Chains A and B, each alone.
Chain A
Amino acid sequence: MPHRRLEPDATVIVLLKPLLRSLRDSLRDLLPIIAVVAFFQYAVLQQPLPELGRIASGVAMVLLGLALFVRGLQMALFPIGEEMAWNFVKRGSLFWLLVFSFTLGFGTTVAEPALIAVADEAAQVAAAAQVIGSGEEALSRYALGLRLTVAVSVGIALLIGVIRILKGWPVHYLIIGGYVGVVVMTGFAPPEIVGIAYDSGGVTTSTVTVPLVAALGVGLASSIKGRDPMLDGFGLIAFASLTPMMFVMLYGIVIG
């Protein structure tokens, strides 16, 4: 019995010590924002900060939240991503690894709130340019089509990215090829979709997906002989932000 009473205490200390350290780190991370806001508010705009109490409590929440997130990252997201990469390699099932990569890319993107917002705005742009009807149904069909397009493109990005890690292809050939694709398609895409397409590359990689995908890539590269985790492990996120640009422009070309 006595050692059972000890156990939670030890756990609490183990959990708390790194948490305090990351709390200090988050404070340091947040200082630039506080400095910028204060400088522009007082020195440039010359106005007092409204509702200081509200701001102070918000900052406290951000601090605690960031510290918890970084702890959770090290406890859950990183180990899961790496462990799954190991298991896939050990099992040697290429088919399931590829299915997993596509599903992860598609599944994490299709419900991404930032993407939903961009898709809705894009539908309004298309309606204003009279590419589609201005009815409620036409708008939501266009937005849904765009969301599915982006989600499929992120799935394909992870699929290609994982194949690249397995084969050891240099990342820059694929990325530069992608750039050329983007440039060529810019010439053909309707002008009103170009800005949205460029921005859609940035909104697809959410805060939960990024650590997972990074751990997956690094885990794959370090568990395959002849692959270097630094050279081959990174690059999945870059693919996931490049393919949506091309697919969104393609969507614009096909619909328009």
Chain B
Amino acid sequence: MDGLLHFGQTFLLLLRDVTPIAAILFGFQLFVLRRRINDPARTAVGMVFVVFGLALFLEGLELALFPIGRLMAAQLTAPEFIYGVAGIVTDPAWSDYLWVYAFAAAIGFATTVAEPSLIAVAIKANQVSGGTVSINGLRIAVALGVAVGVALGAFRIVTGTPLHWYIIAGYVVVIFQTTSAPRSIIALAYDSGGVTTSTVTVPLVAALGLGLAETIPGRSAILDGFGLIAFASLFPIIAVLGYAQLGQRRAQAVERKARKRGEAGSTDSHNPQISGDNAVSPED
């Protein structure tokens, strides 16, 4: 009964968030574009699915994942776990926190795979690219990026190095990659930075940052706890660009090998492909 009440609250809150969006959409559709909505019944059912589905999703996360995720983040960063004794850490060595980095990477990867807005963008990219971009390939590339990003972000909090140096270095890498990556992937790669950090990833990653910043002396939860989300949105860009570059390089290698074989064949005697073409053209 209590749970049902809580679910009702979540549903109403979401409804409040979605109402302005729906008002903008249908307001413009009806009053500016002056068009009726195509298949209003299907649209209405779809909208209900979206709101109800998100409410269930968030409520389930709040019930199952968030409490335990927060608890684990707190336990893994607690001095009792890392040093075996409670108390204040005086001079933390970055290597004492290996389990924290491992957890950061694992939870970053796992939550990104389940991120609904990433699923949406991956479905769209798959449709638009005619299947060249695979839904799961993109999601895994993005998730790997988040994993590296969040782990590095945890390392930054432990070592207390300034946030902006990491971000600026990341930008430089992105700019270099942009100059050589296949053009068709660039916009999608940039977009994948923005979609990683919504409903699932942010609460857990923020809890981890907060736990770290609170237990390490000289770190302030407010100043150093922030920044993990920035890491989680920068590194997927690098990962997606890198994934596309790898694919491109492999395709080029295959092509080069094929061309070499072709050249070897033509010096030998006749290139079979060319003779085949010649055989066809007189008929035309």
Interface on A for B, CB 8 Å cutoff? 15, 26, 29-30, 32-33, 35-37, 39-41, 44-45, 47, 49-50, 54-80, 83-84, 87-88, 91, 93, 96, 99-100, 103-104, 107-108, 111-114, 121, 124-125, 128, 170-172, 175-176, 179, 182-183, 186, 191-192, 194-196, 198-199, 201-212, 214-215, 218, 222, 228-238, 240-241
Q: Decide yes or no whether B94 CB sits under 8 A from chain A.
A: no
B109 CB, nearest partner CB in chain A, Å:
7
Given contacts A58-B63, A58-B65, A80-B37, 12 further A-B contacts (CB under 8 A): A49-B68, A54-B64, A79-B43, A87-B33, A93-B32, A114-B202, A192-B222, A202-B197, A204-B194, A205-B117, A234-B188, A238-B194
B251: chain A residues within 8 A (beta carbon): none
Decide if B54 touches A231 in the complex (CB within 8 Å). no
A179 with B191: CB separation less than 8 A: no
A107–B45 CA distance with the chains assembled, in angstroms? 23
A106 to chain B, nearest CB (A): 9
Q: Point out the residue from A44, A58, A179, A210 that lies within 8 Å of B60, measured CB to CB.
A: A58
The 7 closest A-B pairs by CB, nearest first: A58-B64, A76-B46, A75-B46, A68-B53, A72-B49, A61-B60, A65-B56
Supply 7 A–B pairs (Cβ within 8 Å), ascending by A. Answer: A72-B50, A79-B39, A172-B186, A179-B175, A186-B164, A202-B233, A208-B21
A194 to B168, CA, bound (A): 12
Note all chain B residues with C-beta closer than 8 A to A45. Answer: 72, 75-76, 81
B31-75 near A? 1/0 per residue, CB < 8 Å: 011010111001111111111111111111111110011001001
Partner of B186 from A15, A62, A171 at Cβ < 8 Å: A171
Task: Give CA–CA (A78, B35) in the complex, Å.
Answer: 17
CA distance A238 to B190 in the complex (A): 5
Bound CA span A186–B165, Å: 10
Which of the 9-residue segments B84-92, B124-132, B253-261, B270-278 touches chain A? Answer: B124-132
Q: Are B188 and A205 in contact (CB under 8 A)?
A: no
Which residues in A have their C-beta under 8 angstroms from that of B183?
170, 231
Residues of A within 8 A of B25 (CB): 80, 84, 104, 212
Task: Give the complex CA separation of A100 and B106 in angstroms.
Answer: 40
The interface residues of chain B lying within 8 Å CB-to-CB of A199 are: 226-230
The docked-state distance in angstroms from the alpha carbon of A122 to that of B61 is 26
What B residues does A69 contact at CB under 8 A?
49-50, 53-54, 57, 116
* B243 in contact (CB, < 8 A): no
Does A202 contact B17, Cβ atoms closer than 8 Å? no
Pairwise interchain contact B195-A205, C-beta atoms closer than 8 A: yes
Least distance between A196 CB and chain B CB atoms (Å): 6
Nearest residue (CB) in B for A240 is B194
Q: Is A206 a contact of B17 with CB atoms below 8 Å?
A: yes
Please determine whether A72 and B53 come into contact, CB atoms closer than 8 angstroms. Answer: yes
Which A residues lie within 8 Å of B55 (CB)?
65
Which of B119, B167, B198, B227 has a CB less than 8 Å from the CB of A29? B119
Is the pair B191, A235 in contact by a Cβ cutoff of 8 Å? Answer: yes
**A176 (CB) vs chain B CBs: closest residue:** B175
- With known contacts A40-B106, A230-B128, A231-B184, A62–B191 Cβ distance under 8 A: no
Task: Tell whether, in the assembled complex, residue A37 and residue B188 are in contact, meaning their CB atoms are under 8 Å apart.
Answer: no
A104 near B202: Cβ-Cβ < 8 Å: no
Return B154 CB to nearest CB of chain A, in Å. Answer: 14
CA distance A120 to B272 in the complex (A): 72
Give complex CA distance A124, B118 in Å: 32
Q: B42 — which chain A residues lie within 8 A by C-beta?
A: 75-76
